[in-house]
Structure 1
Amino acid sequence: MAQFDFFVVNVAAPSLEHDLHAGPAALELIVAGYAFTYAAGMITGGRLGDRYGYRRVFVWGVAAFTVASVLGGIAQSPSQLVAARLLQGLAGAAMVPQVLATISAVYPPGERARAIGWYGATGGLGSIAGQVLGGLLLTADVLGLGWRAVFLINLPVGLVVVPLAWRLLPEVETARRSKLDVPGAAGLAAGVGLLLVPLGLGNSLGWPVWTWACMVASVPVFALTWSWLRALGARGGQPVLDLALLRVHSYLAGVGSIVAFMAYFASFMFTLTLLLQIGLGLTALQAGLVFAPMGAMFTITSLLGARLVRRRGLIVVIAGGVVVVTGLGLLLAGVGQGLPYVLAALMLVGAGNGLVLPQLIGAALVEVEPHQAGIGSGVLSTAQQFAGAGGVAVIGAVFFAVAEGGREIAAMRWSAAVDLVLVIVVIVSVAYNRRRAIRRAWPERSRTAVTP
């Protein structure tokens, strides 16, 4: 639901502009407002799960997300839809971190990778469904609902998930007596907002002075918040962000890799949609169906990836990155040669993505303690959303700058080149971590060999 609603609005944007009379600023807020509250609330959502229980917060998050979706589906004005989207983002921030937290707390390390592989496959399907199912819903115009169907489709999902989750999800013991760090949560949300709002709106507004001022102001806000978190932890309190996580090298490396990968992935989906609908003249449904083979390859390889990583290690993730680079290289060279060529390149990209993304998530959480699972997942999800928003803003700006005058194919080449560099950064980072892991394991093997 969360991933679907993040991407489906891109497909529905023309209908919103026509039927709801949403101007450019309103459209930006409908898209970026969800991303902002979703990202800003992730860390607090993770901490709420640590305090009140992952099952309880997940169920309430799904229920709130369903209500917000209905409010969006019945909105009568752009401002009402913006408000519903903001509420959707907050509900998603409560809902999503509990999934990874439950996996990390319940599954032993030997089985965790497979569970996270399914989690990654589901996230990939949600992203692709935003393009494919969104196009189908708009084209079919079920019950004459038009764009409203892309929000109301969440109602039957929520009605099924809430009772099933309450009945089937395990109850995990968490530190429920801890107090919520309101100043820390507010500081982190303010800092993220000062960065995400300008990144989301700056390009369409021509980057006015206030956008740069907000991004500069985020630095002292983050600095003050960091000081508060350290001071609270030093006197025995429980800050909203557990700074001990930042001393786990595998976690930091995983977060860094995910930032690079998500900046590529989100911007690639965004610019490819623009190329298909504006540059190649496809309808929303046709553009959505182009994503289907890539989504199918992602699902297949993400499910196989966990098993391969258990057998072969991180070399599988590196190989997946190489496949992505190959697909992007083919797209870079032949994007102007027709849709079949684009489809072939996208299938390679999807296959490589499935080997990389779910395993990056698992690698980041492998050394995280169960009692830190909620906040660790929240930080990870925040990094994903911030990287996605930043990637769309920066690489999207490159696309729009080159695309002036009907040069969308050239713009796609430029954005694909930037994406290719980001994936190479991921490959190098994973290769470095693999080398460190081998070095750590070798002394243990040497000692074992000489121990009676």
Structure 2
Amino acid sequence: MKFGGTLAVLLSAWFMAQFDFFVVNVAAPSIERDLNAGPAALEVIVGGYAFTYAAGMITGGRLGDRYGYRRLFIWGVVAFTIASVLCGIAVNPVQLVAARLLQGLTGAAMVPQVLATISAGYPPHERARALGWYGATGGLGSIAGQVLGGLLLDADVLGLGWRIIFLINLPVGLVVVPLAAWLLPRVETPRRSRLDLPGAAGLAAALALVLVPLGLGNSLGWPAWTWVCMAVSVPLFALTWRWQRVLGRRGGQPILDLALLKVHSYQAGVGSIVAFMAYFASFMFTLTLLLQGGLGLTALQAGLAFAPMGVLFSVTSLLGTRLVRRYGLVVPMVGGTVVALGLGLLAVSMGLGLPWIMVSLMLVGSGNGLVLPQLIGAALVEVEPHQAGIGSGILSTSQQFAGAGGVAVIGAVFFAAAEGGHHLQAMRWSAAIDLGLILVVIGSVAYNRRRATRQVRTELSRTVATP
């Protein structure tokens, strides 16, 4: 599979999904005024996409393994485009909530096929480069949601107001679908005789019982139902896990590939990404609260403040793949150290004004680009081509789950410390927690590096000993 147009088609869908994840935060005030949406409706409009997106990822990955990544990608883009249009033409909060939930589900069908196609379609020497572009696109999509979203709303394109942030996906989808049908390869995958519907339903329900309370708990003051839901999720997940093992012993095809979960590099990669995404999502969330609530910036100004960090993230993502080929896993370790320096500088320079904060953000963005794409590549390196869909689905679900958990837990710490207008002190606390998570990432990568070195030495000693 070649670079150029094929990779651009794949990454355009990933960009759309990331863009729509973040852009609604900027548009929330406009939606509130135009549709008379209350606080609860706004929470679901903003967070509902994340709930269904995360809950459907593993099923979307398994469907790709069964029916083919190309087919699922094309139909996923079609459905995502239709859901975006439904968001853009909604006339009341109920319609917009329903369309956002549908948009998340369609994104869950579309996005796992991007990583799966890269993993199964590119040879190892090109896969790292493609994953570097994947990481850069994810960073650009996240930042564009803040910056481009603010610019679109400020320009009031065609007088559409907030609706333009959804309707802009229509021309993108109309271009991507025929190009995908033309350019994407038909990656061979083993056909599954049946889909594990009980496992899919149980896993989605268990994830929803955790993600919904985590997403809404802060704003609602953590009512009793949030804790009940999270408690119920534990036995439900245990029952689903037991069903997966029983179905596997019977020779069926469980929604979770338990053999994949035994791959050490995959386990370590998922763990590292969970720690990183818990830091990254919470950092973006609390930094937005600091810039707008503590420093009094507008939504557009706050979005522009993120731009240098996003640009540097994208640049170092692309450079990182070349550096890893030459220096190995020491590169993400250096990147994590740069992130740690940026967080430390942010904590100590909080009272020195916006210029020092911007310097801290540039360090953080530079380090992030050296870390995240390499973690994704390391997690998928030993995944077999026929497992690429489910492997990508689990990876994407872990990212979303960790992000929601990080926002909920660290966000709660921020809100508690910010009472009375102490936003600077609150950001110091959240930056300290984020620093701890980054140290976990560095330690995990260092462990994997030592393990990889031992494996190479073992293989060399066997080769020398062989007559």
Alignment of 1:293 with 2:308, yes or no, is yes
CA distance in 2, matches of 1:255, 1:228: 22
**C-alpha deviation, 1:450, in angstroms:** 4.6
SS in 2 for 1:405: coil
Alignment equivalent of 1:305, drawn from 303, 308, 320: 320
CA distance in 2, matches of 1:146, 1:411: 33
Query: Aligned residue for 1:53?
Result: 68
CA distance in 2, matches of 1:176, 1:31: 36
Write the mapping of 1:369-388 to structure 2, written as runs, cut at 5 A: 369-388=384-403
CA distance in 2, matches of 1:347, 1:301: 11
CA distance in 2, matches of 1:218, 1:210: 12
Query: Aligned residue for 1:334?
Result: 349
Alignment equivalent of 1:217, drawn from 232, 239, 244: 232
**C-alpha deviation, 1:309, in angstroms:** 0.7
Amino acid at match of 1:228: W
**C-alpha deviation, 1:441, in angstroms:** 1.0
Query: Aligned residue for 2:11?
Result: none
Query: Aligned residue for 1:321?
Result: 336
Identity of aligned residues (%): 81
Query: Aligned residue for 1:417?
Result: 432
CA distance in 1, matches of 2:164, 2:446: 44
Q: Deviations over 1:75-98 (max 9, x none)?
A: 111111111110010000000000
Q: Deviations over 1:314-361 (max 9, x none)?
A: 000100000000011111111221111111111110000000000100
Alignment equivalent of 2:125, drawn from 104, 110, 118: 110
Alignment of 1:393 with 2:404, yes or no, is no
CA distance in 1, matches of 2:401, 2:188: 30
**C-alpha deviation, 1:14, in angstroms:** 1.6
Alignment of 1:430 with 2:430, yes or no, is no
Amino acid at match of 1:26: A
Query: Aligned residue for 1:230?
Result: 245
Amino acid at match of 2:223: P
Amino acid at match of 1:180: L
CA distance in 1, matches of 2:45, 2:104: 11
Query: Aligned residue for 1:267?
Result: 282
Query: Aligned residue for 1:80?
Result: 95
Q: Deviations over 1:219-277 (max 9, x none)?
A: 11011101110011111111111100111000000000000000111111111111111
Alignment equivalent of 2:209, drawn from 191, 194, 204: 194
CA distance in 2, matches of 1:441, 1:178: 39
Amino acid at match of 1:176: R
Q: Deviations over 1:43-98 (max 9, x none)?
A: 00001101111011011111111111111111111111111110010000000000
Amino acid at match of 1:28: E
Tell me, yes or no, if the aligned pair for 2:85 and 2:167 is still in contact at 8 Å. Answer: yes
**Structure 2: gaps spanning 5 or more residues:** 1-15
**C-alpha deviation, 1:299, in angstroms:** 0.6
Amino acid at match of 1:218: S
Q: Deviations over 1:397-433 (max 9, x none)?
A: 1111111221111111111111111111100111111
TM-score by length of 1: 0.98
SS in 1 for 2:106: helix
Query: Aligned residue for 1:162?
Result: 177
Q: Deviations over 1:357-376 (max 9, x none)?
A: 00100000000110000000
Alignment of 1:121 with 2:130, yes or no, is no
Alignment of 1:130 with 2:145, yes or no, is yes
Alignment of 1:19 with 2:41, yes or no, is no
Amino acid at match of 2:350: V
Query: Aligned residue for 2:189?
Result: 174
Alignment of 1:185 with 2:191, yes or no, is no
CA distance in 1, matches of 2:167, 2:275: 33
**C-alpha deviation, 1:377, in angstroms:** 0.2
SS in 2 for 1:238: coil
**C-alpha deviation, 1:143, in angstroms:** 1.4
**C-alpha deviation, 1:177, in angstroms:** 3.8
CA distance in 2, matches of 1:153, 1:402: 39
Write the mapping of 1:1-16 to structure 2, written as runs, cut at 5 A: 1-16=16-31
SS in 1 for 2:433: helix
Tell me, yes or no, if the aligned pair for 2:64 and 2:389 is still in contact at 8 Å. Answer: yes
**Paired residue total:** 452
RMSD of aligned alpha carbons: 1.0
**C-alpha deviation, 1:176, in angstroms:** 2.0
SS in 1 for 2:254: coil
Write the mapping of 1:250-265 to structure 2, written as runs, cut at 5 A: 250-265=265-280
Tell me, yes or no, if the aligned pair for 2:87 and 2:163 is still in contact at 8 Å. Answer: yes
Q: Deviations over 1:282-312 (max 9, x none)?
A: 1111111111100110011000111111111
Query: Aligned residue for 2:369?
Result: 354
**C-alpha deviation, 1:451, in angstroms:** 4.4
CA distance in 2, matches of 1:35, 1:234: 33
CA distance in 1, matches of 2:379, 2:54: 18
